[in-house]
A and B are shown apart, each in its own frame.
Chain A
Amino acid sequence: DTGVSQDPRHKITKRGQNVTFRCDPISEHNRLYWYRQTLGQGPEFLTYFQNEAQLEKSRLLSDRFSAERPKGSFSTLEIQRTEQGDSAMYLCASSLGTSGPTSYEQYFGPGTRLTVT
């Protein structure tokens, strides 16, 4: 399977604990995005990378959230001191970095469902 993969698929944690999620994009894609989706809503943008550079962060991304893409391949999203309001599906997507219309087509991974108890 050459699509976007995410790990773990499900995570249950207690409030106050730290969690880390991983995303592996499609191999030739150099843009990587993180979104958060809650029940009944569309995905909300969190942050994105072009290669290893984090180019934009949403206001939704509090100081407890940090993302990295150290070698321009896989990315990690860490949430520190989790709160119940962090419970959501965390989606990763990737897209080609070339110019042209297809560079805007984003392909999503299966997501990591986080439950904070």
Chain B
Amino acid sequence: EDKVVQSPLSLVVHEGDTVTLNCSYEVTNFRSLLWYKQEKKAPTFLFMLTSSGIEKKSGRLSSILDKKELFSILNITATQTGDSAVYLCAVVPSNDYKLSFGAGTTVTVRA
């Protein structure tokens, strides 16, 4: 069974800080890893990573995948209170389409 573990479970930072979220996975026949942001509603798609070592970037958010060590990192720089959310990581196997999610990391950004 596919396994996705996110760390830390939660963290509290101040505006302007940088946060690094971790996602490690075990999946048979890995295809892609996806990051989502969830703010008390539906998860919002952030990134999909398929290749190792290629950084995806969107504004202050960036993410990278290491397929050898089976993990991904999501970075948020210059955090703002609007970044407060649960960040979810999910994997997709190559022979399927369903997502297997981790439990998420709750980020709280204090003004």
* Bound Cα distance from A108 to B88, whole angstroms: 13
Closest to A46 in B: B98
Instruction: Closest B residue to A107 by CB, please name it.
Output: B45
Q: Which residues of B contact A111 (CB under 8 A)?
A: 41-42
Query: Would you call the interface of chain A mostly helix, strand, loop, or mixed?
Result: mixed
Among candidates A45, A101, A102, A109, residue contacting B98 with C-beta atoms closer than 8 Å: A45
User: A43 contacts B101, CB within 8 Å?
Assistant: yes
- Summarize B's interface: helix, strand, loop or mixed: strand
The residues of A that contact B8 with a CB separation of less than 8 Å are none
Partner of B48, one of A44, A48, A101, A108: A101
- Contact of A42 with B32 in the complex, beta carbons under 8 Å: no
Chain B hits for A103, CB < 8 A: 97
The 8 Å CB contact of A31, one of B32, B88, B97, B103, is B97
B99 touches A110 (CB 8 A): no
Which residues of chain A are near B48, meaning CB under 8 Å?
101-102, 104-105
> How many of B's residues come within 8 Å of A, CB to CB?
24
30 examples of A-B residue contacts, CB within 8 angstroms? A31-B97, A33-B98, A33-B99, A35-B99, A40-B103, A41-B103, A41-B104, A42-B4, A42-B90, A42-B102, A42-B103, A43-B43, A43-B99, A44-B101, A45-B100, A56-B98, A91-B43, A102-B48, A104-B32, A104-B34, A104-B48, A104-B97, A105-B48, A106-B99, A108-B36, A108-B43, A108-B45, A110-B41, A110-B42, A111-B42
The interface of chain A, by Cβ under 8 A from chain B, is: 4, 31, 33, 35, 40-45, 48, 56, 58, 91, 93, 95, 101-111
